[in-house]
Amino acid sequence: MGGILSKTQSANLSDMPMTIAYKVLEKMDPTDQLTARKVSRSVRTAIDKIGIRFNKITLKLEKGQISMELDVDKPYGKCIQYRDGIIIPIVKSLLTGRELDDETYVISSCGRSTKIEKEFFVHTACRDLKILLKHASCIEFDVIAYKVPIFNICICSNDIYFVESFAPLLECFHIKEVCFISFNSEYVYKILPNFDATTLKSIELCPPNNFGLWIEKIAQLDQWKNIEEFKLRLHEPFNSDMFVYLLHLQSFTIEQPYDSFPIQNVVQIRDDIMRRSTFQSCTIKVGTNNMNPSDTINIAKVFKPEYAGGDEFEIKYSLDDDKFMIECQKIQLNNWNYYCFSVRKLSSHDILYIKNNFDFVFIEP
């Protein structure tokens, strides 16, 4: 990884009494702490005792490079790029017929560049990621495809190499949240086992296509069976047959800007999902171009048949011994306009507050 401390700073740090160095290390930003770990064994031990914590790592796989963003929303956030050093020289290789050795350029957000010879940049990124994942709580994998003009297709040449390097690590990373954007389902299936099943609480997927094929295989993993929350961004209709894989969850979100959400899916949420003891909440976001006011009014009638209001509503609903808040409103997210339909199980505190402050009766099915 690109160093943040200079050699002079490193020498001064290693010369300090450990009681003083410990106080200095405690006040360092996480990225500085990671660099300082390389100073000496005693400094590394001290930092590991203090504990480095990143909130989020975003890994972007692009043509010829991998970008690693570390808490970029924080003042101390950093971005590290791992670039293929032979992208431009490859033309010379084709002309001369000579093979080129791998080489990597590691570039930090401060502009510092380090050249690593005889090492494939994907391997370098995976090696550093292995260290970083021991200190993070959330990781996002993002495949950024590029278009080949001649064939008019989009590909990312690095995702397969990354998976081949990362999946066999056989590590047990204690990550709480993981997100996969535009990742091949086979790759997701290979990567997930590297995350501790007892620690992982949330999975987010943005599959390029065929989500039904994704979920059948991923649902076999312990990592899936133990999560509490699932977020799904689709570019295709959500099939009601997929609800069977969501029954163990406390919370789930489905976002689909391009297709409507059939009423039979809402009925299944009411008759099956909401009866589960584990269920706490769900949110469905559908693009307004694919939904119209009558669609949302019909959703309201699933819970209140005599409903005669508008396309945004709030309904208090009773099912068995549980009380729920059913809502629908228009929102804007990522430059899209959505109808946001949500169901939330009310706690005893919520119910007491509503009864003390509002005059209404819970609707019985």
- Give tens-digit pLDDT for 81-118: 888 765 444 443 444 444 445 667 777 766 677 777 77
Q: What is the 3-state secondary structure (H, E, C) of the chain?
A: CCCCCCHHHHHHHHHCCHHHHHHHHHCCCHHHHHHHCCCCHHHHHHHHHHCCCECCEEEEEECCEEEEEECCCCCCCEEEEEEECCCCCHHHHHHHCCCCCCEEEEEECCCCEEEEECCCHHHHHHHHHHHHHHHECEEEEEECCEEECCCCEEECCCHHHHHHHHHHHCCCECCCEEEEECCCHHHHHHHHHHECCCCCCEEEEECCCCHHHHHHHHCCCHHHHCCCEEEEECCCCCCHHHHHHHCCCCEEEEEECCCCCCHHHHHHHHHCHHHCCCCCEEEEEEECCCCCHHHHHHHHHHHCCCCCCCCCEEEEEEECCEEEEEEEEEEEECCEEEEEEEEEECCHHHHHHHHHHCCCCCECC
pLDDT tens digits along 202-220: 999 998 777 877 888 899 9
Six token digits for residue 284: 């469905």
The answer to whether residues 237 and 211 touch, using CB atoms and an 8 Å cutoff, is no
The answer to whether residues 261 and 228 touch, using CB atoms and an 8 Å cutoff, is no
pLDDT tens digits along 20-72: 877 888 777 776 777 777 677 787 788 777 777 778 999 998 888 889 999 88
Q: Measured between alpha carbons, how far is residue 230 from residues 2, 61, 202, 243 in Å?
A: 35, 23, 6, 12
From 161, 171, 183, 168, select the one nearest 135 (Cα to Cα).
Answer: 171
In the prediction, which pLDDT does 102 show?
63
pLDDT at 19 over 90: no
Question: pLDDT tier at 331 (50, 70, 90 boundaries)?
Answer: very high
pLDDT winner (highest mean) among 44-53, 147-156, 164-173, 297-306: 297-306
pTM of the predicted model over 0.85: no
Q: What is the mean pLDDT of the chain?
A: 81
Q: Return the C-alpha torsion angle 188, 139, 154, 160, nearest 10.
A: -50
Angle between helices 121-132 and 159-166 (to 10 degrees): 50
Q: Return the C-alpha torsion angle 45, 49, 50, 51, nearest 10.
A: 100
Question: pLDDT tier at 3 (50, 70, 90 boundaries)?
Answer: very low
